Amino acid sequence: MKGIFIFFCLSNFLVLFLRETEAAQLQSNGIYIVYMGASVSSKGNPRNDRDQILSSLKRKKNAVIHSYSNGFTGFAAYLSEEEAESIAQRPGVVSVFPDPVLQLHTTHSWDFLKYQTAVEIDSNPSSTSGSFSNGTDTIIGILDTGIWPESQSFSDEDMGPIPSQWKGKCMEGQDFTSSSCNRKLIGARYYDEPGSSNTGASGTPRDKNGHGTHVASTAAGIPVKGASYYGLAEGTAKGGSPGSRIAMYRVCTPVGCRGSAILKAFDDAIADGVDVLSLSLGASAGFEQEFSEDPIAIGAFHAVEKGIIVMCSAGNEGPDSKTVVNIAPWILTVAATTIDRDFESDVVLGGNKVIKGGGINFADIQKSPVYPLIYGSSAKPIHTLDDSQARNCVPGSFQDDQVKGKIILCESKDEEYSAQRKFESLKKQGAIGLIMINDDERAVASTFGSSPVAVVTEEDGARILSYINLTSNPVATILPTVVVTKYKPAPVVAYFSSRGPSFSTKNLLKPDIAAPGVAILAAWPGNDTKAAVSGKGPPLYYVLSGTSMSCPHVSGVAATVRSLHPTWSPSAVKSAIMTSAIQTNNLQAPITTNSGSTATPYDIGAGEVSTSGPLQPGLVYETGIADYLQYLCSTGYNKSKINKIASSLPANFSCSINSNSDSVSNMNYPSIAISNLKENESKKVIRTVTNVDQDESVYTALIDAPSGVDVEVEPNKLQFTKNSKKVAYEVTFRLTSSTEKDIFGSITWTNGNYKVRSPFVVSSIEQMPVK
């Protein structure tokens, strides 16, 4: 049995990995998770086989860390490898696996989304009502680093009583009392393993990191006027669903996040009565495990069984293909995009020539170009044979007299040192400032505090280098950051956002949706002096980037949909979000990636989330538990094992005779993926849509199919009546010519008022990445 590495999106979109030795130390603590499936048998009877196993462990003092019994059953305990293998053979056990270590993976963003939605659906103005920002009395559960309850974003002013469905608690802890919760922050829990008292964040739901506070306010913070990061991005900070309540489950500490704690948080959240669960967590690309050893997939499955909507971040390992994680079909998987706001830090060259750089700095140096400017490689010490370290400004590459009093232009092709760390090294040697060349980092607003650091594109870097080479005494300065609004094009897919296709699951299109995740301003712990700019107090709002930031945007939308349609299933809410997504930017052109290419469903799933479209989607694809169980059949599970996993099996359930990876294409999902289709071969899939609008309606199919594939929809008109709410249709895909490229298109059903769009991908070579 192998452990898995898991990321947690933190700070400026970075995925922080444990070194192998650190990972080994953390995973050698002897904790195993024993997963036993549903808490009741498929016949509805409570299960007691967990208690029988636990009784055999009583001889070991403090052996059991967590016990699960609400949405599913099992426990986490200190076990020897022999004990783990023995327990795995017990009849009621689904799996036993080492407790995985998880490492750490706004204001204007909501205004931008609302504007984009209004532009996209102008033909249906009735659906652009302001109700997207309400979400009254829904409860969003967040698994993260904790929360800073004093933030103004979590004030309960003018909020009504706590919803009666809430059964959770406000756990007291270090610097956190029951009065830290209110009618907005209605619940808080934390999860520590024995011996973790020295981690710095143990024994309290209080956020010692900032990430959880940021995520919570993005999803459901109340409107706060005048919020900014030291004057930048000033405006009214608000979450996507400010009427929602927040329940925080602190599952992370500075040394990592345990899978056993995440499972316990899922178990508690199910019993507590949350409506939505938001997780900016996931396995790093290539390490994601199959269902029975994946804590997030397990917990999410049982939450969805209980009617809870679960969304997770897609990961921060783009732009490489096959890096998307959290790909279970019951999870809404979220990619990251930019908004129409740029944090611009200009570089001024001699002759007052201005280069538009990026990043956030509050530098206090001369605004005129008076500082000598040099290229890193030109400062190479004589004894250095390879100038790549000097070109990249690797710490220790220069002698003090070579950089003192100067601004250094550096490449950024090494991944070991951040721009901030490079400048700190240069500053100790007397350098004035740093200009980094990197297309990807230019698009993301990294924070440099009071350090004079700017990031420029490779094109602009070449212009600066040309100026250096053609000028006898090149000079420059770096200006403090200003905010540029109505920036175009936007949205753009963030370079770090993980991409499809799925590494392990065939015929399932992931990610599902995209949302703002670049330079998002949201609440921050009020005592974080490390985030403070020199001479200023700690910021109350901070700017972060990552799929961690995009995930709570969708959580806020989902909470609003649930508040308006409380009887809708999680899959109906998911479908409403996906089928109403936006595919165009603020130039009314197709959304692009950071490299300028047209974004595909591997980049953005169904598209950019809409704030109003999901409220009235017209039709929805309901993916039932039976669909998810057939998915497990396709991955190798038999009925006996599924019987342990599911709370209840549909009548006469059995794995399909032809259950394999190809059968996943027939799951009633809002998107379609066909793999390994040969030239002149045809494959057929079936979908069923449910009318959630007026009784009488006729929808017509619009097919967007590129050359190379024929797509036929039968019937091409769907008639809905009061007595006929569900209608099925078939789609036949035929590859007309062989290609190594994946082919993307869409099928849209419209009745004149609503457009219900499903993206599709057809692969002629199994799981071939897009070229």
Q: Which residues are catalytic?
A: 144, 211, 548
The DSSP output letter for 677 is P
The residues with which 743 forms a beta bridge, in sequence order, are 762
| DSSP classification of residue 10 | B
Strands (E), 625-724: 672-674, 682-691, 697-704, 709-714, 717-720
Cα of 159 vs its chain's centroid, Å: 29
Query: For residue 441, which of 10, 12, 109, 17 has the smallest C-alpha distance?
Result: 12
In 10 A of CB 55, how many CB atoms? 9
Dihedral-angle region of residue 575 (phi above 0 means left; psi in -120 to 50 means alpha; beta otherwise): alpha
Phi, psi of 336 (to 5 degrees): -120, 140
- Looking up tokens 């002096």, which residue turns up? 529
Report the distance separating Cα 369 and Cα 480, nearest Å.
13
Measured in degrees and rounded to the nearest 5, phi and psi for residue 563 equal -65, -35
Neighbouring-strand partners of residue 341: 485
Q: How many C-alpha atoms does 363 have within 13 Å on its Cβ side?
A: 28
What letter does residue 350 receive in the DSSP assignment? G
Strands (E), 9-94: 31-35, 64-68, 74-78
- Quote the tokens at residue 242: 């400010």
Among positive and negative, which fits the CA dihedral 542, 548, 553, 559? negative
Contact 503, 322 (CB under 8 A): yes
Write the DSSP symbol of residue 680.
T
Chain position carrying tokens 């507590």 = 272
Tell me which H or E stretch contains 632. helix 625-634
For residue 212, give the amino acid letter.
G
Three-state SS string over 82-134 comes to: HHHHHHHCCCCCCEEEECCEECCCCCHHHHHHHHHHHHHCCCCHHHCCHHHHC
Listing DSSP states for 401-462 in one string gives HHHTT-EEEEE---SSS-HHHHHHHHHHTT--EEEEE-HHHHTS--B-TTS-EEEE-HHHHH
DSSP H or E segment with residue 621: none
Q: CA 530, 532, 537, 539 torsion: positive or negative?
A: negative
**Spatial contact of 115 and 588, defined as CB atoms under 8 Å apart:** no
Rounded (10°) CA dihedral 661, 662, 664, 669: 150
